[in-house]
Amino acid sequence: MNQINFSDFYQKALIPMGKNEQKRSVQIDKDWRAAPLTITHFLIAIEGKAETTDAEKYHWKVSIYLADSEGSFYSEKPIYHSEYYKSIHCAFSAARKLEEAGKAGHLLARYFH
């Protein structure tokens, strides 16, 4: 299970899915078929995690969630999450690439085979 640290959770982009991606997103995780949300968007987010409990230095990962048009999503169920990046700048760069692929309608085709 993916535990979100909401104090270091930044929603980056809410991207509308094309019709083909909506169909394919349901195939990625069959649990979404029974979900009360109408899945129409991808939510791209960046999450920080302290290296140690008293550390000021963070690692960052990028996650993608299936969401509705208002940005509601199931936090325990990302369809993708990256490895941790050492800097928030690297995480933002990775999120930007995912966002560009999503806006072009190629997010699932490019990152989920």
Q: Is residue 81 part of a domain?
A: yes
3-state class of 98 per DSSP?
Answer: helix
Quick check: is 52 in a domain?
yes
Quote the tokens at residue 11: 């929603």
pLDDT score at 34: 56
Number of domains in the chain: 1
Whether 76 is covered by a domain: the verdict is: yes
pLDDT in tens, 36-46: 677 889 999 99
Q: Please give the single-letter amino acid code of residue 45.
A: A
**Where in the sequence is the domain holding 79, given as residue range(s)?**
6-111
Confidence check: pLDDT of 15 > 50 = yes
Q: Given its phi and psi angles, is residue 71 left (phi above 0), alpha (psi -120 to 50 degrees) or beta?
A: left
How confident is the model over 68-105, as pLDDT tens digits? Answer: 899 888 787 788 899 999 999 999 999 999 999 888 88
The reply to whether 1 falls in a domain is no
Which residue do the tokens 């290296």 mark? 51
Phi first, then psi, for residue 52 (nearest 5°) are -135, 170
How far from chain centre, in Å, is Cα 59?
Answer: 16
Give the chain's mean pLDDT: 81
